[in-house]
Structure 1
Amino acid sequence: MSRNPRQRKARGRSRVGERFEVEVGPVAHGGHCVVRVPAGDPDDPTATRVVFTRHTLPGERVVVEITEGTEGDRFWRGDAVEVLEPSKDRVTPPCPFSGPDRCGGCDFQHVSLPRQRGLKLDVVREQLVRLARMSPEDPLLAGLRVEAVPGDEQGLRWRTRGRFVDLGDGRRGMRKFRSTEVVEVDDCLIESVEPVSHTVRGLAFEVAPGGFWQVHPGAPEVLVDSVLEMLAPQAGESVLDLYAGVGLFGRFLAQEVGTGARLVAVEGDRTAAGLAKRNLAGAAKVRVSAGDVGTVLSREYDEPFDLVVLDPPREGARRAVVEQVVDRAPRAVAYVACDPAALARDVALFAERGYALTALRAFDLFPMTHHVECVALLEKVGA
């Protein structure tokens, strides 16, 4: 397989291109499964190396080809280039550009939709057990499922925003996984063919061209519904909307708490913050601040808030922001997370400060990929 992986310092002889027949282990965060292959250590013939392997399913028997890795690396990466014993959940990918050494945009096109959601559920649970130190038997995890969301066509035609490589003459392509190589793609099957709607619950939002907006058509409404249900806002309560974007959550929370209540929105992107001011105009006692969330909170709005909604980027809120949030003593925090590992790390940070995870939902907003969106409710223990 031709590869041009991201460059890093070599730690011994390259193992790229070597093939092994293996039985596939569990799914791991990132769109791959765990397999183990002989490490080739002459001092320890029993030593094995973990290979994070794409395009396979737990329990399958496959031939894995190493795509990244040297003798000194802690783990290698690989691709299942031959399936010897397929899973009952394996399907023919609907997209001809999906598979080993092809477009890197989708992780799970070879997996049935119900099983895709099951794999994502396994990852969410595993991250919360490992990083947030939750019990596997916790009722929140036992009852969790990854919910389908209206707006796609059997997992296809949902992505309202994407990045393509311009190949000239009207042609376009997408890069291979962890590579600069480009695969020409004449029709991306997860790309939406419908115009983007910025209307939610009958209200229109101003969004900058190319600005952030949820890429699945059903995402804004289902996320707003979940946040409102979990927070159960009451008239007169104060609201702190962090990573507010153009004011999606703040606008509906403002409706619930009333025009006399205080609402503060903080957003790092100045264009989005300016649009949030317009989208939130007249909704409540609104203040919108543009700037890094942690920096803004360290300098301003140092007073109690009843409710907080967090919708951080993929790396999560992290300790500095979590500590600023709990210092304002909210009765409830709604956390919208696009990465289960970041969510789990932040849940652990909230737990250190006396806030427990009391509700959790997961949504399949990115079918055919490994990504999953969660909405979590954190409440003060004993409040």
Structure 2
Amino acid sequence: MAKQPYRVKDVSLAEEGLKLIEWAESRMPVLLKLREEFEREKPLEGWRIGACLHVTKETAVLVRTLKAGGAEVALCASNPLSTQDAVAAALAMEGVNVYAWRGQTTEEYYQCIEDVLSYRPRITVDDGADLVATIHSKHRELLGHVVGGTEETTTGVIRLRALAREGRLGYPIIAVNDAYTKYLFDNRFGTGQSTLDGILRATSILLAGKTVVVAGYGWCGRGIALRAKGMGANVIVVEANPLRALEALMDGFQIKSMMEAAPLGDLFITATGNTDVIRREHFERMKDGAILANSGHFNVEISVPDLEQLSVSRRTLRPNVEEFKLKDGRRLYLLAEGRLVNLAAAEGHP
């Protein structure tokens, strides 16, 4: 097992974290109802769960419920910038083996995954499939030990289905993202609202009258586009799938390629689960002052390396807002390092 029972930024933040969790619990009656059942029946007695999730106040409510069911839980973050440090401290004080803090380096992030796996979990709970991928690449001895898992994101399910197609997925995993309650509500309404929440917290801009380019018209993209439209923005959708593009058109949005949209957008939001959706040739066409945000799980949808190569300087103007000055004097603004803006710059889904 890991040398330390937990690693968090500051355990003195625990009292603040308890209040945040209390607030989340007051808005999560269904999970609390399940907790009552779990406390009576102890269905997870003796089971060890390894979780790689965004360490937020809502996740804390889930972890408390798993513990109420008898489980032992080891938890790490599923993104280096999404941890709420006060919540992590509170969980640590409640006996959760939590390894997470905001602002982790890449090395620290993956070491925390190793810390969780050192507990030899029987069940995995993943967000983005980094925990499962690490088991398959570095800890194959656990494949016969883990009995099953869950994956809750579109991006993670894509990764796992690729493993399954190749015959390399070592144990069964439930694709939570396929549940109606996940994509119809959490993706559409949760991501739709929290993405704009993160952008507005980071930038304090007025959306009304702005041209917002949404890349991807899956359930997350639908929610983002609808809410941006509701706040008065002119929305352009970029979508490679012709049926989804037609749906967006009939929902009242303009449809363009990214090359066509690049010179028009004031704000660009990616939600595709793909790589390099916005890249060099698009940056070269953007107007001065354009803002770039990502709502996909990984920081690969906006090509930060291309942006760095085109720039002569970069500086942080305010928390989660980085200015890249291009050779011709234009300035582009990247939010939250290109990571998922709803958690890095806000608090995730309400």
Q: TM-score, normalised by structure 2?
A: 0.42
Q: Computing the radius of gyration over CA atoms, which structure comes out larger, 1 or 2?
A: 1
| Structure number with higher helix proportion | 2
Q: TM-score, normalised by structure 1?
A: 0.39
